[in-house]
Structures are given as C-alpha cells and as structure tokens.
Chains A and B, each alone.
Chain A
Amino acid sequence: AQTVTQSQPEMSVQEAETVTLSCTYDTSENNYYLFWYKQPPSRQMILVIRQEAYKQQNATENRFSVNFQKAAKSFSLKISDSQLGDTAMYFCAFANSGYALNFGKGTSLLVTP
C-alpha cells in the first residue's frame, strides 16, 4: 500500500521568510506523480505544484519549488517570500497506477506579519 507522511502537523513562518514543508512517501512503483495541494479556510483545495517522478529537474511555480529526492522518497515544498495569503493547510499527495490521490494528513502553515 502507498502511504504519504507529513511529519510536521503545524508550522509558522514570518512574512517574507522562507519555509520548507516535508513529505515522504512509500511506493514500489517507478512511475508516479507527486502533488502539493493548498487548502485555505475556504476549504477549496488548490493545486500548488506537481512533479513527475521520471523528471529529475525539480518543479518550480513562482515562489513555490520542490526538492524531489526519488531515492529517498522525499518531496518537500519550499515557499519563498512567504505571504499572509499562504496561510493554509498543505497536503502532499501521490498518484501512481491507481485512480485516486493518496494524501498525507497535512501541515497547517501560519504566516505571521
């Protein structure tokens, strides 16, 4: 069975600083996709960034980037220049040959002024 582990239930960062959220996963598959989703208080899940396992280059989307370590099965999210609007739950998710995303339990990020 695939599992996704987010070891940081809560994190806090000051505005304009950088924060890294951790995620590890377990799979025997070789081809898969990894995602970070953001869920603000409005409950709307929003895709932040996506990484294909066969790509060695780390994905980047503006202030968001990932550190994908395939051998270590690690997929961390770095948020640079944190903004108040980044306050949300962040979920790491994994998809392989199955249909559904496997989600971690999430990290609650608070950005403070």
Chain B
Amino acid sequence: GAGVSQSPSNKVTEKGKDVELRCDPISGHTALYWYRQSLGQGLEFLIYFQGNSAPDKSGLPSDRFSAERTGGSVSTLTIQRTQQEDSAVYLCASVPGGLYNEQFFGPGTRLTVL
C-alpha cells in the first residue's frame, strides 16, 4: 500500500500565525511519531502516539506545540503563534508495532516562518 504521507510539502507563514501539519500513516500501523529536523541537525523527537494510550509529549519544545491523532490514524501537529526558530522540516513516522520496529517516515513538511 501507500507509504506515510504528509501535507503540505512546504509551508511558508508569518511570525505569529498558527499552522497545522498533517500526517497520514500507513494503514494498520499502531504507533506514530513526530520529529523536527532543523538545518544541519539530526532529528529531534517531539511526540509519540501508541494505539489508544496517552501520547508521550515529552519532546514538545513549548506549549505552543500540540498534536492529536484521530481514530488512531491521521495525526495533526499544530504550532501556535509561530516563531522564526520553528522553521524546520517536520517529519512523521509510523510503526507497525513494537518499540524496536522500523520506523517508516513520510517526506516531511518544510516550515518557513518569516
């Protein structure tokens, strides 16, 4: 089937605006992750969803960041009152289950905050 998809591919916004980034995981995958990749850096964990359990939000950098996963499938990452330092590529990954299984990544959303 199809892989992980993310939309939009690119997003340019003005400082102070809110943005929503969408992730469609692979059907049947129970776990979903959001990561942030800043220029020249590795991937920084943001949030983790596993089935119907409460998400692990320990990686969210501030209370301006939030995420939800509806029906155990599609996930939305919301950034409120965007700042220039939020500019990065936001990657989503889904996992078929289990802590050590391969993570299947989407192509990411490049966010630019002017």
| Residues on A facing B (Cβ under 8 Å) | 4, 33, 35, 37, 42-47, 50, 52, 91, 93, 95, 97, 99-106
Please classify the interface of chain A as helix (H, G, I), strand (E, B), loop, or mixed, using the class held by over half of its residues.
Answer: strand
Cα separation A35 to B48 with both chains bound (whole Å) = 19
- Chain A residue at smallest Cβ distance from B89: A43
| Residues on B facing A (Cβ under 8 Å) | 31, 33, 35, 40-45, 48, 50, 56, 59, 89, 91, 93, 99-100, 102-103, 105-108, 110
Going nearest first, the 9 A-B pairs with the smallest beta carbon separation are: A103-B42, A100-B45, A45-B105, A103-B43, A33-B100, A99-B48, A105-B42, A43-B108, A47-B102
The residues of B that contact A47 with a CB separation of less than 8 Å are 102-103
Pair A100/B107 contact, Cβ less than 8 Å: no
The residues of A that contact B59 with a CB separation of less than 8 Å are 100
The residues of B that contact A37 with a CB separation of less than 8 Å are 105
In-complex Cβ contact of B42 among A43, A97, A106 (8 A): A106
Taking the closest CB of chain B, its distance from the CB of A93, in whole angstroms, is 8
The residues of B that contact A45 with a CB separation of less than 8 Å are 43, 91, 93, 103, 105
The residues of B that contact A102 with a CB separation of less than 8 Å are 45
Pair A95/B108 contact, Cβ less than 8 Å: no
Pair A95/B91 contact, Cβ less than 8 Å: no
Pair A101/B105 contact, Cβ less than 8 Å: no
